[in-house]
Structure 1
Amino acid sequence: MTDPLIRDLRALGDHLPSPEPTAALTAAVLARVATEPVPVKAGRIRRLVAWARARWRALVSLLTGLVLVGALTPPVRAAVAEWFGIGAVEVRTTTGAAPPTAPPPTIEGGVTLEEARELVRFDVVVPSALGAPSQVGVSADRMVVSMAWPGVRLDQVGARLAPYFVKTVYDEVEFTMVDGDEALWLPSPHEIVVQSPGGAQRAEPARLAGRTLIWQTGNVTLRLEGDLDRARAVEIAESAR
């Protein structure tokens, strides 16, 4: 007859994913094991099996928790966001002091909102919480529509495989929600560059960006930048129609 402990552990292993263990995960397991009593002296193997059987529920819970923790803890989630980004925006983290706050740049070569909608191949939205924009522009490659209000800028990027904006942040990335979908909140000033479709940085230099909310609507990526707190940024994003 199969030992119940072995049967249950095998069943658990068949249904759980097996990600590559990280240094942090290994350290957590070793720290937890170190707190448990260890059988010693004669009959070590027999005592170890008995000890494991007595604690099999705790061991199963520990293994399950360690496998699932990567999907729950903010540092790991931030690493996932850094790797995949959101839509056309890629976020990279670094160490050091955050740069000084800079206001959003003005928009060059302005067009009307109607002209912008005719120039691009995606739906352009306007946040009703901000009203009509004071400036509207379209990038030379017709991939980005930018809008400006006093102290606030909104960029909308059409679908593409490679990142369009690459952001280097000096603070922890925060997760929030916009209309029920996950979004990223960058709470401190950071550098931003524009990439070509092949992944090379474009000729224009990196610039500083302020607090920024990043989210997606369908196949369009949006980034709202300005002197806003997270609650106000989400409110503006959810009013975009």
Structure 2
Amino acid sequence: MGDLERELRDLSAWLETPDPPDVTARVRVQLSRPAPRRRRWRSLAAMALVALLVAVLPPTRAAVADAVAGLLRFAGVSIATSSAPALPSGTPSPLPAQRATALDEAQRAVRFPIRLPAKLGPPERVLVADPDATGNCRVATLLYDGGALRIDAFDGRLDLAFHKEASPPGVAWVQVNGDFAIWVDSPHVLSYVDRAGEVRRETARLAASTLIWQEADVSYRLEGALTEAEAIEVASSLR
């Protein structure tokens, strides 16, 4: 029980959610029943707490297990937490085979629809990257404000595409259009994960505040000098 309690306390740093469902009545009913040993009472209490966490976390067992372990996987992005993430050194490399292109050409280069945020309008530049053997690219990027504001879109059905290293207090659950999303409210190390599942450290860079969400099997990263409310407003305006 000691290890489980510590893990659940550590997990609490990840959570920022609406009011959870009230499980008090169910717990009281269980505790009112005869229990032969104190160990049974502690087991019931632990089960109730785990049920509560499952209710407020995204509805996947993997999300719960990874969050307890300090590695959260969500919408094609993994987030590893540590007290002091190592800062990248040198100039970061671009994503594999990254190139600039017109918006209509970018749409033909990826297998998912490229949606534009109504709050921002047409992008200043469009990038595509990491093509497979057939030429289909894995990532499409929309750039605004001279590149300081960006939206990365990638097929959410594929394996991980980005890896972040951040401190737990700066990572929180939020919502975009009623679905789960993640808000990272401070600069953090961002690396690309290639098709073989390897973290490409040469691409590591210090990223700005970021919103991560998923819609219709497409994953998104919105990064830039935005507040949480502004980022959610932009994300909600995708058309």
Structure 1 length as normaliser, TM-score? 0.67
Q: What CA distance in whole angstroms lies between the structure 2 residues aligned with 1:113 and 1:25?
A: 46
Tell me the C-alpha RMSD between the 2 structures: 3.7
Deviation at 1:120, TM superposition (A): 0.7
Q: What amino acid does structure 2 have at the position aligned with 1:91?
A: I
Contact 2:172 2:183 in 1 (8 A): yes
**2:159 is aligned with 1:162:** yes
- Asked if 1 retains the 8 angstrom alpha-carbon contact of 2:163 and 2:199, the reply is no
Q: Considering fraction of residues, name the structure with more strand.
A: 2
The equivalent residue for 1:131 is 121
Distance 2:8 2:188 in 1: 33
Pairwise mapping of residues 99-118 of structure 1 onto structure 2 (< 5 A)?
A: 109-118=99-108
Is residue 171–residue 188 contact of structure 1 (8 Å, CA) maintained in 2?
no
Extract unaligned runs of 5+ from structure 1: 1-18, 28-54
Q: Are residues 186 and 20 of structure 1, via their aligned partners in 2, closer, same or farther at CA, if it must alter by over 3 Å? A: same
Q: Which runs of structure 2 are paired with 1:150-229 in the superposition (5 Å)?
A: 150=145, 151-172=148-169, 173-202=171-200, 204-229=202-227
* 1:81-120 correspondence runs (5 A): 83-96=71-84, 109-120=99-110
Are residues 66 and 203 of structure 1, via their aligned partners in 2, closer, same or farther at CA, if it must alter by over 3 Å? closer
Number of equivalenced pairs: 192
Q: Percent identity over the alignment?
A: 32
Following TM superposition, by how much is the alpha carbon of 1:79 offset from its aligned partner in structure 2, in angstroms?
1.5
* Structure of higher CA gyration radius: 1
Query: How far did 1:88 drift?
Result: 1.3
CA contact (8 A) 2:8 2:68 kept: no
Q: For 1:66, which of 29, 35, 49 is the aligned residue? A: 49
Measure, in 1, the Cα distance between the counterparts of 2:106 and 2:128. Answer: 6
